């Protein structure tokens, strides 16, 4: 699969082939599309709305990006890939060396939530897309999932497989284990906070994370088999 940035640069209609206007204008249009997408959602992020946000004429958007839907897809994939890369680094950092399984998994669960704050614009986009999913092109939904959530889950599975190899977890299917960890631990906070829109208190977050980790260990801890 092409990289997310390549999707912006090489999408159908010559998204990377319009040399007439300065590169700065192009970057402004991409940033504007991201802002409008986060604020208004996919269906309302039109070429006119993007142009207004960027402070350019609508013709400028069409000159750089003849296919506005492909521009939105590129923005979405680029944002999703950035979050997935951040989560891959979290999994690597917190599972590279496990001293206390429960405490290290709790620390992992908390760190997994850090992107809610670091990538606020991305999760605003996710909230809109979740509400609009039946109206989005199927290609956009599939590529978003593959570039973002599924990629992050694969990286977590790879690390959990390594922890299991040390005898600290009893895992037959690492992909399934990664999915369950995400569902049991960070997703409980993500869902209750509406993807970070209504942040929870620290004590509530800590309790949800700890309860999720305990459930995960009951499922995959060697002592439970």
What tens digit of pLDDT does each residue of 46-84 get?
A: 999 999 999 999 999 999 999 999 999 999 999 999 999
> In the structure, what pLDDT confidence band is assigned to residue 1 with cuts at 50, 70 and 90?
very low
Looking at residue 22, what is its pLDDT? 54
Q: Is this structure's pTM higher than 0.75? A: yes
pLDDT at 88 over 70: yes
Residue 225 to residue 216: CA distance in whole angstroms: 13
> In the structure, what pLDDT confidence band is assigned to residue 213 with cuts at 50, 70 and 90?
very high
Burial of 66 (C-beta count, 10 Å sphere; 0-12/13-18/19+) = middle
**Residue % of the chain over a pLDDT of 90:** 73
Looking at residue 193, what is its pLDDT? 85
Average pLDDT, the chain: 88
Long-range contacts of 39-42 (CB under 8 A, 24+ apart): 39/124, 40/128, 41/128, 41/129, 41/131, 41/132, 42/72, 42/128, 42/129, 42/132, 42/135, 42/136, 42/140
């Amino acid at each position: 699969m092409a990289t997310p940035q390549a999707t912006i640069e090489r999408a159908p209609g010559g998204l990377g082939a319009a040399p007439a206007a300065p590169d700065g204008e192009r970057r402004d249009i991409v940033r504007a599309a991201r802002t409008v997408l986060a604020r208004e959602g996919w269906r309302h992020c039109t070429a006119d709305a993007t142009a207004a946000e960027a402070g350019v004429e609508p013709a400028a958007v069409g000159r750089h990006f003849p296919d506005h839907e492909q521009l939105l897809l590129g923005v979405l994939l680029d944002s999703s890939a950035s979050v997935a890369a951040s989560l891959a680094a979290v999994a690597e950092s917190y599972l590279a060396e496990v001293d206390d399984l429960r405490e290290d998994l709790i620390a992992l669960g908390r760190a997994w939530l850090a992107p809610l704050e670091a990538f606020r614009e991305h999760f605003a986009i996710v909230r809109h897309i979740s509400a609009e999913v039946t109206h989005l092109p199927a290609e956009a939904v599939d590529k978003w999932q593959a570039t973002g959530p599924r990629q992050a889950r694969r990286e977590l599975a790879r690390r959990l497989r390594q922890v299991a190899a040390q005898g600290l977890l009893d895992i037959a299917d690492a992909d399934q284990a990664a999915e369950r960890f995400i569902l049991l631990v960070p997703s409980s906070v993500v869902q209750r906070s509406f993807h970070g829109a209504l942040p929870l208190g620290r004590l509530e977050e800590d309790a949800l994370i700890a309860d999720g980790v305990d459930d995960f260990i009951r499922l995959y801890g060697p002592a439970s088999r």
